[in-house]
Structures are given as structure tokens and as C-alpha cells.
Amino acid sequence: MEKRIKEAVRYLGYGRNAADETTLAMIEGTFAELERIAAPKSVCRIFDMDQTEDGRIIIGNMEIKSTSLTRNLKGCVKVLLFGATLGAGVDRFMKRASIADMAKAVIIQACAAALLEEYCDEEQLRIGGELEKQGLYLRPRFSPGYGDFDICNQEPLVRMLDCAKSIGLTLTDSFMMTPEKSVTAVIGASPIKERCPIAGCEACGKKDCEYRR
């Protein structure tokens, strides 16, 4: 719970400042509510990957042009396409709060984001444990919108995972996800074990890492 609360405080933008007791109490209460409402689901598929000389990444029928993703996937022999959501109930909870209490709505947004990241980390650890039996090690998640990995790549990723049917996740015309508290990502799998934290580059102090996004 302590780690979860720290993440929510970070999402609220406190930086190095401590949250006051009232805010902390609201965060704890919000997590308790979210635990009752959330219905987390995830889907994952493993694909072969090719990288062309002109810098394109080929995953199934998806072609990606992204320097930052290419760097992240260096040395990988497989990739995982991953999708996860907290479910529509969390969206309804946030919408009700935004009408009645904006301060509460902001805290719900932060807590839901922290809860989603926690769930994704747990799923990645589970999947990674299975792949390690095959001699493959996962890199941190890399989602459309990071670096120069264009947000429009949400569409083929969601389609290839059949997210609408598998976890109830769809996209708007502007590539925003519904339910809102959802995520898609590409995860590289390499035969070489790197010291990459699941939490990603934000949690790692190695600024000169060749895989850094």
C-alpha cells in the first residue's frame, strides 16, 4: 500500500514535497473504493520481429518507424503486444466525481493511474517468469505516445490483440482508449538479461543506457 500511495502522490504532482494528512487520507479511501470497483483485465500475444535496414520494425502486419522504440528493442528476438484495463466501472466512478467534487476527481485519476501501473507490473512479472523458462528476458513496457512512437500505432496494436473482444478495450477516432484507465504497450524479449526495471526509464538512474526511451 505504501508504494501505491507514493505513486498516487507522484501523479498528483507533489514532486519531492510531502502530501498533507487530509490528502493522504483521501488517497487511502480512494484506493479502497477502486479495489471494489475495478475489474482489471489484460491480454498479451508474442510475435516474431524483424528490423529493416531503413529503421522500420515489423511486428506481424504492423510496421513501426520509431528511433526510440528501435533503441529499446535492441537485441530482442521476440516482442510482446500487451493491453490492460481497469474496466468501465472506474470510468463511471471518475465521471460521477467530476460532476460532484473536482478535488475528489483529481485524486481518483491519480489513484487509478497508480493502480493500473501496479496491475501492469504484476502481469509483466508473471509473463516474464514464464518466458525466463525459455531463456528470454523482458524489457520495460513501451507504449504508443512515448518518444517518437506515434500514438496512431494504438490502432493496429489494439486490433492485433482483439482488445474489444478480449478485455473490452476500444479506441476513439483520435486513438484515445475506452475505458480511459487502460494501456497498450510493446515489450521486447531478449536472450540477454539487462538490468531494466519494470517501472521503466523514469525509475532508473542510468541516464546513458542504450535502451533508454
Report the alpha-carbon angle 203-180-94, nearest 5. Answer: 100
Cα separation of 55 and 68, whole Å?
11
Q: Integer distance in angstroms from the first to the last C-alpha of the chain?
A: 28
Tens of pLDDT, residue by residue over 108-132, are: 999 999 999 999 999 999 999 999 9
How buried is 21 (Cβ within 10 angstroms: 0-12 exposed, 13-18 middle, 19+ buried)? exposed
Judge whether 157 and 62 are in contact, CB under 8 Å. Answer: yes
Cα separation of 93 and 180, whole Å?
11
63 DSSP β-pair partners: 58
Tens of pLDDT, residue by residue over 135-181, are: 999 999 999 999 999 999 999 999 999 999 999 999 999 999 999 99
Judge whether 71 and 151 are in contact, CB under 8 Å. Answer: no
Q: What is the DSSP string of 81-105?
A: EEEEE--HHHHHHHHHHHHH-HHHH
